[in-house]
Chain A
Amino acid sequence: MKPMSRRQVLRGMLGGALITVPLPFLPSLGRRGQARAAEGVFPTRFGNFNWGNGMVPEHWTPATTGAGWAPSRLLAPLARHTDVLSVVSGYEVKVPNISPHTSGKFGFLTGIDPNRGSGDGTYALGPTFDQIIAAAIGGTTPFRSIECGVTSEQVISWNGPNAGNPTQADPAALFRRLFGDSFRPPGSDAPPDPKLALRQSVLDVVTGHLGTLKGRLGRDDATRLEQHLDGIREIERRIAQLQLPTPALDACVPPTVEPSNPAAFKERHAVMTDLMVTALACDQTRVFTYVFSEHNNNWVYDALKDGHHRMTHDELGDQPGVQECVLQIMEQLALFLDALRAVPEGDGTLLDHCALLCSSDVSLGRLHALDEFPTMIAGGANGALRAGIHVRSEVGASAAAIPLTLMRAVGVRAASFGEDDCTETESIGELEA
């Protein structure tokens, strides 16, 4: 097999951050997750739990800062998680607020105004930072990152302009991808399947074609083919890994039955939560985007008469209906955290080894507001983050500090994050352990 150039994986992906990425060199890694097996250290995972249409700031922000924060009205469903959940409030996404919802979402996750230059706000102009993290820490698991959730109409995770990572919202399809025929259970040292080498020989032909074609097309198309090549290299990496013994993982209990696809969104969330958490417990990936709901979604929450997005715009006053939607979303987030905490890893839980960002696309949906941007961080990132505190900026500091803090916490040596007015070089010290 040809040696892979790990540097190439990152080409064209670094628009949003000035970073040095410690690239994993796989072929030299004799055994997957070797370090952990030897030292009993659990890997750090990063996740982005995203919901649509924001919240109501007035009822969101906890009254006290620091540890032991008391849940506000809207955060009450998360009361049982305050010890592991940090609220980061008062930050603002510093992009011109031109495109409702996507200025905030893409501006926050990439640090780049999606309406800059030729951008029209419908796509991200650089990689979302989950992909920067994936390039740094995703290289030793079968999947560099997983994008899944309850709904799949919008793209949250991007590799760059017009290069989205679609969300998988079909539990059966995600099951087949993660735990289907090519799943190698932990603790396996079965001899490699000879068909893996044959698949690799096919990929060699495809790689040759991509190289030939790339040389004949213009720059933009060459970039697209280079991104295709990234996907080929990901498969090659997985094929190489499938031929290595896998370490035992006590917490990994892979599902054996293909799950159904419930129509009701809360039920689908329950099924997808199980799959995603199991994927982490089985070390299939260390980086994920979980899309609970999307902006503009008009799901009708229990006991309400109208769709969520529509209510954010049409409901008057204190928006009790919108608040009810937010409360129910926080209940679902609490269930997701329950599942992460239910997986024991060493002396702690899976969540202790996660940095899970929980955020949205706006604060007050009615105004598509980008100040008081709703963000929380669950988990301690293997001790790199202080969990369970409320950090507040009273001056509307740039929200770009949050991705920067998270990137550094999970091991990306980032000098800065964001561009133009979003450029941030200082992480949030209070969050760092």
Chain B
Amino acid sequence: MDTRFRVETPEGIELAFSVAGAVPRGLAFLVDVSIRSVIYTVSALAFFLWLGEAATGPTLLVVFATEWFYPVVFEVLWRGQTPGKAGLGLRVVHMDGTPIRLPASLLRNLLIAADFLPLAYGFGIVSMLCDRHFRRLGDMAAGTLVIHTRHEGLPDHVELGAAPVPPPIALDAEEEQAVVAFAERAPSLTAARADELARLAAPLGGTRKALEGIAAHLLGREGSGPGSQGSAS
């Protein structure tokens, strides 16, 4: 299942965001809960040492503000990330992919009170599991998504172990892409698996080396030795 969320930008290109599921979001939440409890403890202690008996008032105010506005402050000032979300590589964005701002952040974080019901974030979890974009109730009302910030992309320059060779038969666009994709992924596969996959392309030679040679040709690589062409990153 493709869980990516596609947005068309005004520049006419389509961006695909990977939406984060309940597990990384839950872990980020746990990190934030721990940080919040540290804030409570430290502020209670500091106020007590400073003010003694009169510490109750300021402590209650800090607890109240942290409880409701900790995520708002971080999300608005830090481009959609609380410390927990930053640690897990998550970010809150509007449904059009732009960074979250105060109104949406306030809404989604006030509505956490509804996600919390009936107990232990029951509605929030059910909502995330049912929704195609893993949104909790607060996200739906605020029009926000939680996305992964890390792109585990492939390198855009691969070392090919073969000199460019034209393909022995004519390839259509899809087949050309498959050959290039194989060459890109081969370094991350075990040798046995790479050979096994290469055998599927018997008409093209059926070996990894043969496919890499064709890929080099398709990429337009010049020269004759492995890696002789300078980096084009």
Answer yes or no: are A and B bound together in one complex.
no
